[in-house]
Chains A and B, each alone.
Chain A
């Protein structure tokens, strides 16, 4: 049951939990964080409870008008406390939203601000981890709101920003054993905090496709040579791109061909990155780092 204010129903705290659980389960899958804002209003000059509920309704109406359709406003069990669930936004966007809210209250000279000297404080929790329950946030909220803060403060609580460790598979398809080892060592030296990078080498495309290494839901980077024994690179690409979840593959092709026609053909076949041999290993590292950021 929610508070009805005009057209929208503002959800209660308890109704938000299933929505929150759905969103946090998808944090690593769609690589978008969620942010939860808790707002507490304080009115030091208020005398009685009736006034308190009136002001609470006023602030609820105000927030409901100002919060975007893509964000979810909810009412906490405690008096004069609200929450906003931001999807796909981080703490920077949350701070921007709060600053705009604070400023508009002052500019539009709301009664609760002007006459009752009420002020707001806000806690911002950016969630990048699918293990964090709403009850954990609630507990932190209680602890933080017990402290004294100046009026109109935004407090970022970074304790839930540590990302889940995600497995990323990297396959190297190269028939030259020496260079294959060089690639493997170079990639194994790349360390990314929230990624568990697993590297495997194959001497040809057939060996790769016969294995079950590439059949999983993990993000998969494939670095392959265009010319391979048994099954060449383009054939491997065709096979991978026919798979239903082919979007998990990021494919790098190494080749000695450097004409525009070859590149066009490779991209049209499903390649994501084109590396002309001989290439600089720093270039490969830089491209891989960009790919890891997107993962």
Chain B
């Protein structure tokens, strides 16, 4: 009994010591963190007005802005990021970029090969934010150390921004496949010329890149882009065809009705649905026979689309007449009546 109690007491004592040890570590780390924060706050208070004068008021650069320690660098980074994320001004961006290249590059070079993933990722983000094109080659040399998919993507993005001439060949030959969202993030930042180049190499791109490219083109809502999308309507991949039709619908124009008519009889209901959506951009005389055909489509979504798009036009009365004559399917007619048309 006594031995048991003694054992328990020893265990409790060891646990308490262990807790005290952990608490001690946490306390030390806390005070270290507080000390770092004080240094950062001191730098911020010292330079806040100077940064404003330099970046916004266009005053002369002052050496007081140059951070000397790691914590001051972090503080400067916060300040510069606040300016970049909130203010759009090429002059300010240039000054920030110049400053970062001159006084922060060495720091970021070291951080790029840090053992912690989060630090490497943040460094890659800063290369983009501060436009540190002087570090791109170093990035590529150390690409083997940037192993995770996030890092790979970020390096890829950096190349798209700073190595445009070699980026497009890279896009077609790269082994790593990114997600559609990731490709979209890159394509959104590209200029028109590069996007046109990519469209010419459409077949060589990975599937996700193709889908992302169609989305980006469609979102521009530019009538001059429609011919690119029309060219994709004969693609073997159904997904590409559907997205191209969707893109044309988003832009809101039918330049050549004959290109979309073959999809009226498509076995893929999504393609027929996109045709139904597109027909509202044609004149009623042009599209009426096709509306009637789609009105008889077995798919409910397609029928609803026709009814929604054309409920205010006289086509509704005509369809009603044809329905009464038994030309239109009975279930469709009931639905039509129920919805009060």
Chain A residues with a Cβ under 8 A of chain B: 176, 178-179, 181-182, 185-186, 254, 277-282
Shortest beta-carbon distance from A225 to chain B in Å: 9
Chain-A contact segment, one of B82-90, B246-254, B283-291, B294-302? B82-90
Contacting pair A178 B56 (CB below 8 A): no
Contact with A along B80-102 (1 / 0, CB 8 A): 00111111110000000000000
Contacting pair B56 A281 (CB below 8 A): yes
Contacting pair B48 A280 (CB below 8 A): no
Contacting pair A178 B88 (CB below 8 A): no
The residues of A that contact B85 with a CB separation of less than 8 Å are 176, 179, 277-278
**Distance in angstroms between the alpha carbons of A176 and B83 in the assembled complex:** 10
* A281 with B82, Cβ < 8 A, contacts A178-B48, A185-B52 known: no
Chain B residues with a Cβ under 8 A of chain A: 44, 48-49, 52, 56, 78-79, 82-89
The residues of A that contact B48 with a CB separation of less than 8 Å are 178, 181
The residues of B that contact A185 with a CB separation of less than 8 Å are 49, 52, 56
Contacting pair B52 A278 (CB below 8 A): no
The residues of B that contact A281 with a CB separation of less than 8 Å are 56, 87, 89
Known contacts A182-B82, A278-B85, A278-B87, then 7 further A-B pairs from the complex at CB < 8 Å, ordered by chain A residue = A176-B82, A179-B82, A179-B87, A181-B48, A182-B56, A185-B56, A277-B86
Contacting pair A182 B52 (CB below 8 A): yes
Chain B residue with the shortest CB-CB distance to A185: B52
**Distance in angstroms between the alpha carbons of A145 and B87 in the assembled complex:** 58
The residues of B that contact A179 with a CB separation of less than 8 Å are 82-83, 85-87
Contacting pair A178 B89 (CB below 8 A): no
**Distance in angstroms between the alpha carbons of A178 and B48 in the assembled complex:** 8
The residues of B that contact A279 with a CB separation of less than 8 Å are 86-88
Contacting pair A182 B78 (CB below 8 A): no
- Contact for A182 among B44, B83, B88, CB less than 8 A: B83
Shortest beta-carbon distance from A186 to chain B in Å: 7
The residues of A that contact B78 with a CB separation of less than 8 Å are 178
**Distance in angstroms between the alpha carbons of A42 and B241 in the assembled complex:** 89
Chain B residue with the shortest CB-CB distance to A181: B48
Chain B residue with the shortest CB-CB distance to A283: B88
17 A-B residue pairs with CB within 8 Å: A176-B85, A176-B86, A178-B83, A179-B83, A179-B86, A179-B87, A181-B52, A182-B87, A185-B52, A277-B86, A278-B86, A278-B87, A279-B86, A279-B88, A280-B88, A280-B89, A282-B89
Shortest beta-carbon distance from B54 to chain A in Å: 12
